[in-house]
Amino acid sequence: MSFWILILDCNTSLRKIHGLFLSPWRRRTLSIGPCGLRNVSSRSSEVSTRYTITSCPPTDTETLRTIVEKHVRSLDRFLQAKPVAAHTLRAFRQVHDAVPVDTPIILDSGCGTGRSSLHLGRLYPDAVVLGIDRSVARLSKNPNFQSSVASDDGPSDDALLVRQAADNVWLVRAELVDFWRCCIDAGWESSIAQHFVLYPNPYPKKSRIKSRLYAHPGFPLLLRLGGDRLTVRSNWRTYLDEFSAAVHTAAACLSTTPDDGDTRDEVDGKTGVYGKNYAQRYLASTQEEAKLLDPTLIPWTNFEEKYHNVGERTYELVLKPISK
C-alpha cells in the first residue's frame, strides 16, 4: 500500500478541498492514499507578507520595565501637565448626556472608521458601544460621520464631535487618553463592561516605543477602564507579548497598602488620585498567550480584513479579572 505526499502553497482566495479549508499563503501537507485525501499537518508555515513586522526586535526586558514603572509612578504629574483637550471634553459631555443611566458601556478605542464599533453593537445589543478615534478623516469614512467641515486640528462645530451610528453605537471624535480621563472623572469605571483596542498601534521602531499603548504615559488609565474583558488585537505578536509584560510590571509597581488599597507614590510620598492597582486584577490572565485568530471568520475591522486577505497572521490577547 503506497501513499503520496502533496504539499500545497496557496496564495489565492480561501478555497475548500474535500472539506479542508486552505487560507491564502498557507502551506498544508496532505496524504493521498486508497481512502483519498487526508490532512497530515495543518500547521501553517510562517509566511511573511508586506504587512509583517520583522525589522523590530523585542524590547529589552529591563528597558520595558523601566518605562512602565516610570509612567505608573509619574501618572499624576503627567495628567497635571497635560490638560484635557477642549473638544474632547465637549465630546464627552455630549456622550454623557446620551448614554442611558446604568447601561453597560463598551469602549472601542482607536475605532478608525467605526466598522468594529458597529460590529460590537450587533454582538452586544444590551450595551452601549462608544467608538473613539482622534481622526476625522478616518471617522468620516463611516456614512454616519461624514463631514467636509471638520479637521484633525479640532472641529469648530460641536455637532461634528459625536454621531449616533446605530441604536446603541456612538462614534466619538476625541483624544483617547483625554477621553479615558473623562470617563474616570465621571465615575464610569464600574459601568465599563469591556474595552477593545483593535489594531494597528504598534509603532515598530525602537525610537517610537513610547507611542505604543503599553509604553505610553496613559497606560495606567487604560488598565483602570479595562472592565471585565480587555481585548487587544494585532498582527504583531511581539506587541501583544510586551503588552502582557507591561501589565505584569504595572501590577508589581502598583503594590497596594494593607489599609485602603491605594498606591503610595514613591516619588513624592503622596497617594495619587489614579493610584489604585487596577493592573493586579489582570495579572493571572497575562499568563495566557495571545491566540491566533481564525482568518475564515468575519473580520471586525478594515485592517483585519486587509491582513487576512493576504495571509497575514493576526492575534488576540484577552485580559480578564481573576474572578472572571
Is the residue at 168 inside a domain?
Answer: yes
Are residues 239 and 292 located together in one domain of the fold? Answer: yes
Is the residue at 54 inside a domain?
Answer: no
77-91 pLDDT, tens digit per residue, is 999 999 999 999 999
Please give the residue range of the domain that contains residue 257: 61-319
Are residues 36 and 75 located together in one domain of the fold? Answer: no
In the block, cell 486508497 appears at: 34
Are residues 141 and 19 located together in one domain of the fold? Answer: no
Which of 248, 213, 215 is closest to 234 using CA atoms?
A: 213
219-245 pLDDT, tens digit per residue, is 999 999 999 999 999 999 999 999 999
Question: If pLDDT is split at 50, 70 and 90, which confidence band does 265 have?
Answer: very low
Most confident of 29-38, 55-64, 104-113: 104-113
Question: If pLDDT is split at 50, 70 and 90, which confidence band does 323 have?
Answer: low
Are residues 166 and 239 located together in one domain of the fold? Answer: yes
Are residues 71 and 14 located together in one domain of the fold? Answer: no
Which of 11, 46, 21 is closest to 30 using CA atoms?
A: 21
Average pLDDT over residues 276-286: 90
State the average pLDDT for the chain: 81
Are residues 37 and 87 located together in one domain of the fold? Answer: no
Question: If pLDDT is split at 50, 70 and 90, which confidence band does 249 have?
Answer: very high
Is the residue at 53 inside a domain?
Answer: no
Q: What is the CATH number of the domain that holds 177?
A: 3.40.50.150
Are residues 130 and 255 located together in one domain of the fold? Answer: yes
Which letter, b or e, does each residue of 89-126 get, where b requires 16 or more Cβ atoms within 10 Å of its Cβ?
Answer: bbbbebbeeebeeeeebbbbbbbbbbbbbbbbbeebee
CA–CA distance, 281 with 299 (Å, rounded to integer): 29
The pTM for the full model equals: 0.79
Q: Above 80 in pLDDT, residue 302?
A: yes
